[in-house]
Structure 1
Amino acid sequence: MSARVSTRISIRWPPEEASEPTDTLFLSLGGYYVDLRINKYTKTIDWALAGQRIIVSEDPLKVEFTHPLDSHCHAPGEQGHGEADVGQFSKLPNGDDLEVGEMAAPHLGGRVMPYEEVWRELDASEEAKGWILESVDEEPKVFYARIAGYFIAVKRTTSSDRYEYAAVREDREDGRWVSKHASEDVRGVETMSGLSEGLRPEKWNVGDIVKFGGMSVIVRAVAQ
């Protein structure tokens, strides 16, 4: 089961110039992914999303990303809620990946526009082990992803018919998990640094319902 850890180098909405306003970490394993983009200047969530990663075609490589959790959706039933997007990928001379497609541009009021994103794979040489988990319950809805020395948790809660989002990112440095981002309200979100009991993912299979901290979760992908 292939694992991928990558960061975004730039985004461009033609004819605008390319820029990178976020610190982005993308984790994928098997047919699932979790993607967290933190605004570099406000240190708040720019975009948090998670779901399935489905190969549409191999040549050219086209990938469909479903969005059962998408922080750009602010209320149940909102237009665009849960919609998928499709990106086409090609290799650049320096080894980075160019993704092109169309998606809603938040800075243009959500108008669907062509985009170009450049992605760079990060060194995950510590180990290729990892997993992606999804909460059994819808309230809150939480996705967890850990691949090698990287961990993301993204959470959606409903309050007064509106969605609220929170996220955590931790990187493993010198043998311990270090917080890189934590939203203000991360109550109920488990973290690698906060787990009091060791995990046994070597016993997990895709589709199993297991405990992650105090939360029941579905194993969506696992590689050991």
Structure 2
Amino acid sequence: MVVQLSYRKSLRWVPGEPSEPTSTLVLDVGDFFVDLRMLKADSTIDWAMAGRRTILSSSPLECQWTKEICSQNTEAHDDIGIFEDLPNGDALEKGSMPNPDNSDKIQDYEEVWGNLDIAPSEQPAWILRSKDGNGITFVGKVGSWFQVLRKSEGGEFAVLREEKVDGSWLRRYQVGEKLPSMAELGEEVFSAEGWKQDTDVKVGGVTYTVYALEKA
């Protein structure tokens, strides 16, 4: 199954020019994803979403993303992209999706993606999901990266991204209400020992469903 860390290098709304105004990191584990795109200029949310990733075909690679939560409230619209391998090892994704800078009109896009290496580890990669009075929360960890996305019952969005550097978890981005943090709670709280996919686990006093659990 898939365990992948992807970062976006550029976005092009056809027929415009490519640019990259965001810091975008996607955690893929099994059939699920946690995708956080933060604007570099002011560290606000450009787009945050999480849900299921379905492979529609393998040649060419075509994927469909069904969003369970989305900061742009486009959960009703599944995104579909076709990937092409580039000579330098990057991937070119082409498709169509709502353009927030063009009144959410469906528009063709091209994105260039690179992959981050995942160091071998005994700790698996995972994505958890909870639904309670706080809304719907996705928590994901792949290698040295940790992301949390929450959409409240009222539609407000909160996000967190942390990275492990030299043995310590550092906060890279945080917006909105307080979220479960690897830096604050520690890795032992998020130990996946005994976890099984599609079962409920208790983490920091909160019940989550293990949506995806794969060896990194």
What range describes the TM-score normalised by the shorter chain of this pair?
Answer: over 0.9
Task: Report the TM-score when normalising by structure 1.
Answer: 0.91
Is this contact kept in 2: 1:8–1:118, CA < 8 A?
yes
Aligned pairs for 1:81-92 within 5 A: 81-92=75-86
Give me the whole-angstrom Cα distance separating, in 1, the residues matched to 2:14 and 2:170.
37
Deviation sequence 1:53-89 (CA, Å, 0-9, x none): 101011111000011100001xxxxxx4332111101
| Alignment correspondent of 2:192 | 201
2:180 equivalent to 1:180: no
| Alignment correspondent of 1:165 | 157
Task: Report the TM-score when normalising by structure 2.
Answer: 0.94
2:142 equivalent to 1:150: no
Is this contact kept in 2: 1:190–1:212, CA < 8 A?
no
2:120 equivalent to 1:120: no
Q: 1:133 aligns with which of 128, 133, 151?
A: 128
Number of matched pairs: 213
One-letter code aligned to 1:116: E
**Aligned-residue offset at 1:40:** 0.5
Give me the whole-angstrom Cα distance separating, in 2, the residues matched to 1:58 and 1:37.
26
Aligned pairs for 1:1-224 within 5 A: 1-73=1-73, 80-127=74-121, 129-137=124-132, 139-159=134-154, 163-183=155-175, 185-187=176-178, 189-195=179-185, 197-224=188-215
**Aligned-residue offset at 1:186:** 2.4
Give me the whole-angstrom Cα distance separating, in 2, the residues matched to 1:88 and 1:154.
26
Give me the whole-angstrom Cα distance separating, in 2, the residues matched to 1:20 and 1:200.
35
Q: Please, what is the CA RMSD of the aligned residues?
A: 1.5
One-letter code aligned to 2:127: I
Q: Name the SS of the counterpart of 1:158 in structure 2.
A: coil
One-letter code aligned to 1:213: G
> Sequence identity, in percent?
38
Give me the whole-angstrom Cα distance separating, in 1, the residues matched to 2:150 and 2:159.
6
**Aligned-residue offset at 1:138:** 6.7
Is this contact kept in 2: 1:130–1:223, CA < 8 A?
yes
Query: Which of structure 1's runs of 4+ aligned residues deviate more than 3 A?
Result: 196-200
One-letter code aligned to 2:18: A
